[in-house]
Chains A and B, each alone.
Chain A
Amino acid sequence: MNAEANSLTHNTRRDFLKLGVLAGGGLVLGIGLSGCSKPAAIGAGGQPVAWLRIAGDNTITVLVDKSEMGQGVYTALTQLLAEELGVALEAIRVEAAPVGAVYTNNLLGAQITGGSTSVRDAWEKLRKAGAQARSMLVQAAAAQWGVGADTLKVDSGAVVNGRKRLTFGELAEAAAKLPVPTEVTLKPAKEFTLVGKPAKRLDTASKLDGTAIYGIDVKLPGMLHGAFAQCPTLGGTLAGFDAAQAKTMPGVKDVVGTDNGVVVIADHYWQAYKALGAVKIKWDAGANASLDNDAIRARLRKAATRNGRSVRNDGNAAAALKGAAKVVRATYELPMLAHATLEPQCCTADVRADSADVYAPTQTQTIAQATAAAVVGLKPEQVKIHTTLLGGGFGRRLEVDFIGAAMVASKAVGKPVKVIWSREQDMTHDTYRPPAFDTVAGGLDASGKLVAWKLDLTGPSITARMFPPVVETAIDPFAIEAASNYPYDVPNIAVNYNREEIGIDVGYWRSVSHALNCFVAESFMDELASAAGKDPYAFRAAMLDKQPRFKRVLDEAASRAGWGKAPAGHYQGIALMEGYGTYMAQVAEVSMKDGTLTIHRITCAVDCGQMVNPNIVDQQIEGSILFGLTAALWGDITLVRGEVQQRNFDSYRMLRLPEVPRIDVHLLESSEAPGGVGEPGTAVVGPALANAIFAATRKRLRSLPIAKQGIVTV
């Protein structure tokens, strides 16, 4: 823990604080960091904005502003607040926060759960909120007892004075009348009792008995159900439809069009789904009517011949390549991928004349609110977003394309409507992980030392569509990850980026460009090691003397995996990366029998800085590795005439239990700032595995998925 986090005085000037008393009595504490000086700006939707509520009956509720999509934010963020407040984790209830300026993710500029930022964003905010509330509760007790606040202690939900105790509930009302302290001192890391401990998740029980409510489970009085069909051609629109027959079918209430699709609204989902098949729809395929993978590839290939924009330029890579004793060049091409959250896209809307409630499994409350409002001509502040649990996110629910149909449908029938996408709609109307066409070159001197490294990236930009202002002058920061921060000590490095749009929307997919660029950079490091006649681990390690965090995870992964000591017939591959402030190395161990691959073990060493909950970190890293394995082995979205060919889990294959290797995750002690843990694992496993396959077959994988390269059977 660093000194800065201990003393928060540096940003109190920007803080504004708001306090209120709930109808039922109790403390409400909200803290804004928007830089705006008017407290009235908090809770633009009229909701009370707060991080926690303490009620007279001692119920303590923490409002978590990040969406729970399996990554454990409801638990980890609560731990941060509880640490400073001084209550046991189990004593706290978690509620999803509404939309509000106070919940703006400082790392992303809107209320967004993504980019592995949740803990990094909350690290100060929630501990500070807990400390402020605690200080007010102690002040209230001190006043009641007529003693100095500094003589009092806090012990599991109560203020204590010798043998006298006042519970937080008993103090809440008095505390709420006190001014909020602008300056609080946070505990140093060595005094943490909750943060850094492997606490059980708070959301587990409800996920074992069917009581957890996901977007798809929302029930409202009088609610109808919608089934949705979108133009099969990506980017195509609705030209017209004939619903005469569908409207005669049982339960059907209405059939309405959106700009790119048709919603059938019925009493029950199955009625709507069946009737949807009876609607005669005319599509306008639009510009992508003949788009296929070859066309996309040709486009990227051609664009790659241009000179890209410089991302990084150390020394003179071009000259050093010319002068090198040996030059290695390679081209890597990577496919599009679907997110395939297990809960398909869905949304429930209740649209009225001057307001609306939207129940959505969203990762981006701010944009969801603006989008929902725009679709039906309301103002954002007239729309209330209720965030449900998410049945997986992975970046898919940063999109808001699943909201419009429910809004249109509810407005048309004047009742709440829940719209659920079929798996086929979900799979064929994703915003896919961008494809990539990358060329890379390395120059070795006569001794086999790497003296030049040059990477040219070509692909479409996600951020240009999602957050256009970001790319107005700068290069899309989410296109160059794991390339711009190439860690090896090489005197001449050049990284260039060539943006080329491909006609369809691409989206943020778990670990974003890390998964593309780490695959290229770390596979190619293996090519260079091989050209230099060196061991892939030793080759890397020799260039990391100035990068202690990289070196530490590399050494740890190698030693834990028994690098170089695999059993006979087993082969190993290694890869590393920094992403989201987390340093990671993985070793994959494989064997081959009659051309068929078996993955025995993935060993992963991680330095993610200060951890909030090692139990959740471990889950996230293991899960992200398996997510990356699925992609590396089978992931491939293909287009024919602008239509996605993969429709369900038969043609878009997922890793299943019998195929899951042993995963050993080693979390290293670290006092550095917290890093994100949901994503890096996904990016590193691909190259580690490809490098192990090279060790086993001497064949280099320069495209994915592995299943389609004809090198091994998987």
Chain B
Amino acid sequence: MAAINVNGKALETDAAPDTPLLWVLRDHLGLTGTKFGCGAALCGACTVHIDGEPARSCQVARADVGTRRITTIEGLSADRSHAVQKAWLELDVPQCGYCQSGQLMSAAALLAQNPSPTDADIDTAMAGNICRCGTYNRIRKAVHRAAELLKKENA
């Protein structure tokens, strides 16, 4: 058994050291909000935060995570109260929704580092997240809206 720190909880997992974090989360810990799309760092569906930084969980082996702090969509907030979740709800962003956990995690990480992103900043931060349904223009609007909400929260 290895220790792993997910969403503020110290957990244990029997996953082999080379198991990608994605499958540790989904299969071993039952956190299926993080999605599998490509397994090759090409789609962003599996994005989580490791020590606050966005990471493609399909590319990080369990052994390399150690006890660094992992945040998944389930831990972004307890009650969908993170600014990105509120903005996404307000603008009705998801269609099939399959990419959206990854989109939200990428957006939340961007806003944590850059509270007032420009369109170009959003392009750079979100370019790794594919949305096959084409919700991109609403995603862009929602990132701006979340930035506004965060400013109000911090005011």
- Contact surface of A with B, Cβ cutoff 8 Å: 68-72, 200-201, 203-214, 216-217, 219, 225, 250, 268-271, 340-344, 389-394, 420, 422-423, 615, 619, 622-627, 648-650, 654-658, 660, 662-663
Contact = CB atoms under 8 A, between A and B. Distances in A.
Contacts of B134: 622-627, 655, 660
Which 10 pairs across A and B sit closest by C-beta, in order of nearness? A210-B33, A70-B96, A391-B98, A207-B97, A626-B134, A70-B95, A623-B134, A658-B123, A217-B32, A649-B42
B30 A648 contact: no
B37 A344 contact: yes
Contact of B23 (A200, A204, A268, A344): A268
Given A342-B43, A662-B137, 12 more contacts: A208-B100, A209-B74, A268-B15, A270-B20, A271-B16, A343-B98, A344-B37, A391-B98, A393-B96, A420-B36, A660-B134, A660-B137
B42 A269 contact: no
Interface string B37-72: 111101101000000000000000000000000001
B136 A342 contact: no
Contacts of A344: 36-37
B2 interface: no
A341 B132 contact: yes
Contacts of B26: 217, 269
Interface string B82-114: 000100110011111111110010000000000
Contacts of A343: 35, 37, 96, 98
A269 B33 contact: no
Contacts of B45: 342
24 contacts: A204-B89, A204-B97, A205-B80, A205-B89, A207-B100, A208-B88, A209-B73, A209-B74, A217-B26, A217-B32, A268-B15, A268-B19, A268-B27, A341-B98, A342-B99, A342-B130, A389-B96, A392-B96, A619-B95, A623-B95, A648-B40, A649-B38, A650-B42, A657-B131
Residue of A205, A209, A626 with highest tally of chain B CB at under 10 A: A209
A207 B94 contact: yes
A663 B138 CA distance: 11
Nearest to A267: B27
User: Which has the most chain A C-beta neighbours within 10 Å: B38, B123, B126?
Assistant: B38
B4 interface: no
A657 B123 CA distance: 6
Given A204-B89, A656-B127, A657-B122, A210 B15 contact: no
Nearest to A198: B92
B12 to A, nearest CB: 15
Contacts of A656: 127-130, 136
Nearest to A217: B32
Contacts of A662: 137
Contacts of B138: 619
B151 interface: no
Given A210-B33, A654-B132, A658-B123, A423 B39 contact: yes
B5 interface: no
Contacts, number: 173
Nearest to A200: B92
A623 B73 CA distance: 24
Contacts of A207: 94, 97, 100
The DSSP consensus for interface residues of chain A is loop
A208 B104 contact: yes
A269 B29 CA distance: 13
A342 B134 CA distance: 11
Contacts of B104: 208
A389 to B, nearest CB: 7
B145 interface: no
Interface residues of B, number: 60
A25 to B, nearest CB: 32
Q: Which label, helix, strand, loop or mixed, suits the secondary structure of the B interface?
A: loop
Contacts of A623: 95, 133-135
B98 A648 contact: no
Interface of B: 15-16, 19-20, 23, 26-28, 30-40, 42-43, 45, 72-74, 76-77, 80, 85, 88-89, 92-101, 104, 122-124, 126-140
B94 to A, nearest CB: 4
A208 B80 contact: yes
A204 B94 contact: yes
A660 B96 contact: no
A557 B49 CA distance: 43
B137 to A, nearest CB: 6
Contacts of A394: 132
A209 B101 CA distance: 7
A638 to B, nearest CB: 19
Which residue, of A71, A340, A656, has the highest number of chain B Cβ atoms within 10 A? A656
Contacts of A213: 32
Contacts of A391: 35, 96-98
Contact of A204 (B42, B92, B98): B92
A649 B43 contact: yes
A657 B32 contact: no
Contacts of A69: 96
A211 B73 CA distance: 9
Contacts of A68: 96
Contacts of A268: 15, 19, 23, 27-28
B135 A619 contact: yes
Contacts of A615: 92
B114 to A, nearest CB: 16
A210 B82 CA distance: 14
Contacts of A393: 96
Contacts of B100: 207-208
Contact of A210 (B23, B34, B131): B34
Contacts of B92: 200-201, 204, 615, 619
Given A208-B88, A268-B27, A623-B135, A648 B35 contact: no
A269 B23 contact: yes
A662 B137 CA distance: 8
A210 B38 contact: no
A271 B123 CA distance: 36
A648 B31 CA distance: 25
A219 B29 CA distance: 12
Contacts of B123: 657-658
A481 to B, nearest CB: 22
A518 to B, nearest CB: 19
A69 B133 CA distance: 9
B56 to A, nearest CB: 12
A626 B20 CA distance: 32
B19 A270 contact: yes
A342 B132 contact: yes
A203 B16 CA distance: 36
B34 A657 contact: no
Given A200-B92, A210-B34, A626 B136 contact: yes
B80 A423 contact: no
B132 A392 contact: yes
Contacts of A270: 15-16, 19-20, 23, 27
Nearest to B34: A210
Contacts of A626: 134, 136
A270 B127 CA distance: 27
A342 B96 contact: yes
Contacts of A340: 132
Contacts of B80: 205, 208-209
Residue from A204, A206, A392 having most chain B Cβ neighbours under 10 A: A204
Nearest to B43: A649
Contacts of B73: 208-210
A648 B99 CA distance: 16
A657 B107 CA distance: 12
Contacts of A210: 31-34, 72-74, 101
A216 B32 contact: yes
Nearest to A346: B36
